[in-house]
């Protein structure tokens, strides 16, 4: 009886392990895709903000104040 349990144990473990790997990789991929979309959106917004902020920074004697305010 003990031998049979020992033989079955690794297969159960590895099956659960594969499920874990699959779930982890799928969630990681979807998270990566979501992060990429957020990054693209953020860079577009950042560029728009920088375009608006450039004239203010040129007029200001201390450009560090405007950059850190946001």
Per-residue pLDDT, averaged over 52-63, amounts to 60
Q: How far apart are CA 38 and CA 32, in angstroms?
A: 10
Dihedrals φ, ψ of 62, to 5°? -120, 95
Q: Cα 23–27–31 angle (5° rounding)?
A: 170
- Average pLDDT of the chain, as a whole number: 72
pTM, two decimal places: 0.36
Q: How far apart are CA 39 and CA 47, in angstroms?
A: 12
At 1 the pLDDT is 42
- Domain ranges for the chain, please list them: 2-60+64-68
Confidence of residue 53 (pLDDT cuts 50, 70, 90): confident
- Residue 24 confidence (pLDDT) above 60: yes
């Amino acid at each position: 009886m003990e031998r049979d349990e020992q033989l079955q144990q690794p297969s159960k473990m590895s099956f659960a392990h594969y499920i874990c790997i699959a779930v982890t990789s799928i969630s990681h991929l979807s998270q990566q895709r979501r992060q990429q979309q957020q990054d693209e959106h953020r860079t577009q917004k950042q560029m728009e903000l920088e375009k608006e902020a450039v004239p203010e920074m040129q007029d200001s004697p201390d450009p560090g104040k405007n950059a850190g305010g946001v």
